[in-house]
């Protein structure tokens, strides 16, 4: 087993180098070979399915763009398509329970080999954002969410923007590193309502 893994790793490195040089005659052969090696190295288990290996058009474009930069027209198209993917609450109810939202934000489980197929998924928000004023350590990849209500207000525009950001952050930043919680099916609409409550409820730890 170990020998097979080593052999796969060596093959992956060799194919990756070939793809980096443009593959065969620059026709994408190297990239196709790389994807084949990657696919052969994984097995579906728990909440991690092989569909995770399939990139969307947006992901392919952003992965291959030099230093993450895109032409303005392409960036606008990707953001427009991302915005079209957003599904707003049909009943107009934006907020759920902030207590549940806090659990989701502080949970890093979901879509991993070790997660049971029927287990609820978390948001892992703590890995990228400050969530309260009492935290000793927090992620800084994303902006601080502390005092969110005070800074953003509770108007319909603020609610819609926050929901959009959670559902598909690429609507505002074509190559955002933020997960597409709604669009990718990571969180359910009800879970997103709970996270929204964490951001907008005055009694949540985010706003106290």
Q: What is the per-residue pLDDT for 68? A: 58
Cα gap 16→125, rounded to integer Å: 32
Query: Among 37-51, 110-124, 177-191, whose mean pLDDT is lowest?
Result: 37-51
More confident: 35 or 74 = 74
pLDDT tens track for 131-141: 999 998 899 99
Q: Are 162 and 199 in contact (CB under 8 A)?
A: yes
Residue 126's nearest CA partner among 117, 111, 137 is 137
Cα gap 133→206, rounded to integer Å: 7
pLDDT tens track for 57-110: 888 899 888 765 899 999 999 999 999 999 999 999 999 999 999 999 999 887
pLDDT tens track for 169-205: 999 999 999 999 999 999 999 999 999 999 999 999 9
Distance from CA of residue 82 to its chain's centroid? 13
pTM: 0.80
CATH superfamily of 98-207: Cytochrome c-like domain (1.10.760.10)
Q: Are 175 and 62 in contact (CB under 8 A)?
A: yes
Ordered by start, the domain boundaries in the chain are 2-71, 98-207
Q: What is the per-residue pLDDT for 21? A: 45
Can you read off the two tokens belonging to residue 74?
């392409």
Helices marked H in the chain — which ranges? 2-20, 29-40, 57-64, 72-84, 98-105, 148-152, 156-167, 189-200
Cα gap 81→70, rounded to integer Å: 15
């Amino acid at each position: 087993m170990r020998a097979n893994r080593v052999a796969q790793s060596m093959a992956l490195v060799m194919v990756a180098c070939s793809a980096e040089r443009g593959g065969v005659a620059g026709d994408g052969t190297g990239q196709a070979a790389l994807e084949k090696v990657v696919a052969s190295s994984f097995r579906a288990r728990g909440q991690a399915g092989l569909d995770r290996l399939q990139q969307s058009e947006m992901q392919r474009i952003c992965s291959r763009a030099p230093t993450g930069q895109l032409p303005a027209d392409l960036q606008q198209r990707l953001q427009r398509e991302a915005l079209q993917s957003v599904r707003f609450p049909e009943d107009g109810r934006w907020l759920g329970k902030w207590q549940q939202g806090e659990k989701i934000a502080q949970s890093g489980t979901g879509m991993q080999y070790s997660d049971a197929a029927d287990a609820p998924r978390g948001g892992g928000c703590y890995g990228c954002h400050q969530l309260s004023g009492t935290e000793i350590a927090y992620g800084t990849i994303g902006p601080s969410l502390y005092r969110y209500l005070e800074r953003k207000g509770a108007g319909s525009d603020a609610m819609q923007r926050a929901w959009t950001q959670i559902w598909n952050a690429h609507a505002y930043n074509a190559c955002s590193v933020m997960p597409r919680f709604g669009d990718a099916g990571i969180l359910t609409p009800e879970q997103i309502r709970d996270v929204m409550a964490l951001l907008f409820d005055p009694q949540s730890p985010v706003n106290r």
